[in-house]
Chain A
Amino acid sequence: MKNIIEFKDVSKYFGSLKVLDGLNLEVGAGEKLALIGPSGSGKTTILRILMTLETIESGLITVEGKPLWHEKVNETLVPASEAHLQKMRQIIGMVFQQFNLFPHLTALSNIEQPQILVRKVTKEEAREKAANLMDLVGLEDKKDHYPHQLSGGQQQRVAIARALAMDPKIMLFDEVTSALDPELVDEVLSVLKKIATTTDTTMLTVTHEMNFAREFADRILFFDKGQIVEQGLPEGIFTNPKEPRTRGFLKKYITGLT
């Protein structure tokens, strides 16, 4: 499997706080990753760096073999220009904890507009794709609703559809069910599972839903203090974690683990 994402010795600071500490990570094309770990361990930061919402201080990230935060000028790597970042962003999409739908647009328009503005497709094409995606996420009857007229779970499904409409090869999901009432969590997670089983999109998911992570992911990464403490197949991590920190963390979520 070819790597679609590579982190090489990546560090990230907020002021004097070291949030990522020499991180190395390789993600194969089409792989489904679940990132777990205590709050503040840097999981969100990793996704935000990939989405180009945060810069890095040192190290190198490549996406599809091309440096993400750098570009080559006369054979030397220099910090990426906005034009380069725009090119790289075409490969990546993100879904946020707080949905971040555009409140002044209907659900359907939320999905149409970025296609028209960014991918320059025709109105008809954008509308058809938006409608299909609304079907996919089970909201065919909510097309003309505004975000504030939808439940959190429905809003999040629209946000997922909006990200999908851009055809990203990599999708980032940052605790997409954490802001939802418990009874609305499953409808969103089942959409994620559907995408995972029906597409070859590479997916990085930060989640606290361990049952979901186990079903969904090819590989689990356990983070603590800006480092990957342990990683492996879901079976191994969830039934027999090797690191005491992983075990300590998972005990809160998995009954029977001692």
Chain B
Amino acid sequence: MEWDWNVVASVTPSLLNGLIVTVQATIVGAVLAYVLGLVIAILKMSGNKAVAFITYWSSEFIRRTPLLVQLYFLFYVLPDFGIFLSPFVAGVIGLGLHFSTYTSEVYRAGIENVPKGQWEAARSLNYSAYHTWRFVILPQAIPPMFPPLANYLITMFKETPLLSAITVVELFNAANIYSNSHYKYLEPMTLVGLFFLLVSIPAAMIALKIENKYKPLN
């Protein structure tokens, strides 16, 4: 097996296109995961027992089943019900929905980790519910959420090749398509690994910076 630079030259443009799709899917999926996660966290803490119960079990169900199955469901099963999604849209919804069940736990833990004494201090100083959340609880709960949220972003990035299963031409699929038609696997797949590394190493370093910056006080 010889390393062939001609293959590198001819596959790189389509890989770069794939990388752009991968980054787009990660970012849109992550935004969805962050927002949906917040909704789930709020619904789970809802005073309405039925709402909290349904949210809890739906999110457990999504979290305990493989993302790949969910993607298949969104792309191949929903059309049976008259819902047609483009591969990219189905992909980011799948990613966002799946990871929202993780981010919701980050939000919940962030809030629950604020000591009970902080709520009691606010109450004894006669803070309103709004003031308690706005000036006491959230300022302490939010900073520790950043590191795990950043780490989920990196995890989502690495999970994007699953989107190839529903025909999204992201980085891995771009290589795969080239490989299958040219019977060249070494260079395209090596490059895929390299591209993932090129993005995820700096991202991990940024995440580490975030982690150090938002280390809890005390």
Contacts and interface: CB of A to CB of B under 8 A. Distances in A.
Interface of A: 51-53, 86, 89-90, 92-94, 96, 98, 100-104, 113-114, 117-118, 146-148, 162-163, 166
Given A98-B117, A100-B121, A166 B135 contact: no
A101 B121 CA distance: 8
Which of B125, B128, B140, B218 lies at the interface centre, i.e. has the most chain A CB atoms within 10 A of its CB? B125
Contact of B125 (A98, A118, A148): A118
B155 interface: no
A150 to B, nearest CB: 11
21 contacts: A51-B120, A52-B123, A53-B124, A86-B128, A89-B124, A94-B124, A96-B117, A96-B120, A96-B121, A96-B124, A100-B117, A100-B118, A100-B121, A102-B140, A103-B140, A114-B126, A117-B128, A117-B131, A118-B127, A147-B217, A166-B125
A146 B217 CA distance: 9
Interface in B84-142: 115, 117-118, 120-121, 123-128, 131, 135-136, 139-140
Contacts of A51: 120, 123-124
B142 to A, nearest CB: 10
A31 B153 CA distance: 59
A104 B139 contact: yes
Contacts of B125: 93, 114, 118, 162-163, 166
In the complex, the 5 A-B pairs of residues with the closest C-beta atoms, listed nearest first: A100-B121, A100-B117, A114-B125, A89-B126, A94-B124
Given A94-B124, A104-B140, 14 more contacts: A53-B120, A53-B124, A89-B123, A92-B124, A93-B124, A102-B136, A102-B140, A103-B140, A103-B217, A114-B126, A114-B127, A118-B131, A146-B217, A166-B126
A149 B62 CA distance: 44
Given A100-B117, A102-B136, A117-B131, A148 B124 contact: no
A173 to B, nearest CB: 12
Contact of A148 (B123, B127, B136, B217): B217
